[in-house]
Structure 1
Amino acid sequence: MGFLSFERYLTATETTAGAIDPEEQNTDYESGRVEIDGQWWRIRTARITPTKPGAFVAVWRRNAAGETEPFTDTDACVGLLVFVTDTNAGTDADRHGVFAFTREHLAQLRITEQTGTASTPRRQGKRGFRVYPGWCTGLNPQASRMQRAQLPAFREFGR
């Protein structure tokens, strides 16, 4: 499996990383784990869909029983890097970006499952979600709210 988006990111940002540990699940999304600056990150490449703005990314794993489940707020990785490419920018060059969602940001967005405590209830996470890069326009109100919530994690890194 190739990790073209991640390799493009490393080159454009002059970031160094350890070897990628590919994940068996979600191979269509270039899924894996990688160590960057001594911290482990999950990586995914979001897929552009033809009928909706933004891009979709799957973020689940299989448990011991073989069932799919969302990642939890206690996951060993510090966050999730989601790479996105806009091939319809109307120019000769594609646009590339990355969302660097921390574990805490994923919890705020209700992507990860909240394990719960005595004072907070357990909350189910998501197995996939849409990302809306800064270049996405004309969004409906719900997508606009999600874009505003996601934008602090977004960085465009190339055309």
Structure 2
Amino acid sequence: MLDRYPQNSKYEALEFSIDGKKILYRKGNVTPDRPGNFLSIWKRPDENSTDPRRTMPYEEHDLDYLFVEVSDCDISKRGIYIFPLTALIDKGVVTSNKAKGKMAFRVFPPWTSSRGELKSKVFSDSAKKTQRWQSHFFLWIEDNEIVDLEKFNNIFSSLS
């Protein structure tokens, strides 16, 4: 079953499960003034809340994996990140006893160049460091919609 989140529709937010694992899905947005793709990963504390000020980061019990689909501006390059919960906790993305979590963050696919499309922001050393840890969880999506299943299975079995 797919649960859509209209409040995060800009990022095509979905929640579903595979083999009993809770998956959050987001589509990263290309931002022309900065390198990489940006995505939002917040939730509302109450399902019925529509107050835009009432949002919070996901907590470790909310998910097992975060899937983030990314592309470049003309969609000639595509890929997907399969972030396991352990990496999200380690990097402070979800709320845990280690960190307060994040409401949004940026991913830097392998094709990320030294600047954004408008060449206005530099691809910083911090962004390059982030790209390095993120690269372990990245899979290219080929033209025929195929991904490296061996790598997918290795990442996906990391919580088993």
Tell me whether the two structures share a fold, i.e. TM-score over 0.5.
yes
The alignment status of 1:73 with 2:73, answered yes or no, reads: no
- CA offsets, 1:9-32, max 9 Å, x none? xxxxxxxxxx42112321110001
Name the residue aligned to 1:133.
Answer: 109
Name the residue aligned to 1:155.
Answer: 139
How many pairs align? 130
CA distance, structure 2, for counterparts of residue 21 and residue 42 of structure 1: 10
| Aligned partner (choices 100, 107, 120) of residue 82 of structure 2 | 100
1:78 Cα deviation (Å)?
1.1
CA distance, structure 1, for counterparts of residue 111 and residue 92 of structure 2: 23
Name the residue aligned to 2:99.
Answer: 123
Q: Is the Cα–Cα contact under 8 Å of residues 60 and 85 in structure 2 kept in the other structure?
A: yes
Aligned-residue CA RMSD (Å): 1.7
Code of the residue aligned with 2:89 in structure 1: it is A
Alignment TM-score, normalising by the size of structure 1: 0.75
- CA offsets, 1:59-103, max 9 Å, x none? 00011365100001222x211100001134xxxx61110010111
Structure 1 pair 158–87 and aligned structure 2 pair: CA distance change class (3 A): farther
What SS does the corresponding residue of 1:42 show, helix, strand or coil? strand
- CA offsets, 1:85-139, max 9 Å, x none? 1134xxxx6111001011111111111111x2xxxxx521110000001111322
Identity rate, percent: 29
What SS does the corresponding residue of 1:44 show, helix, strand or coil? strand
The alignment status of 1:86 with 2:72, answered yes or no, reads: yes
Name the residue aligned to 2:27.
Answer: 45
Code of the residue aligned with 1:125 in structure 2: it is G
What SS does the corresponding residue of 1:26 show, helix, strand or coil? helix
The structure 1 segments of at least 4 consecutive aligned residues displaced by more than 2 Å after TM superposition are 35-40
What 5-or-longer segments of structure 1 have no aligned partner? 1-18, 117-121
The alignment status of 1:61 with 2:47, answered yes or no, reads: no
What SS does the corresponding residue of 2:140 show, helix, strand or coil? strand
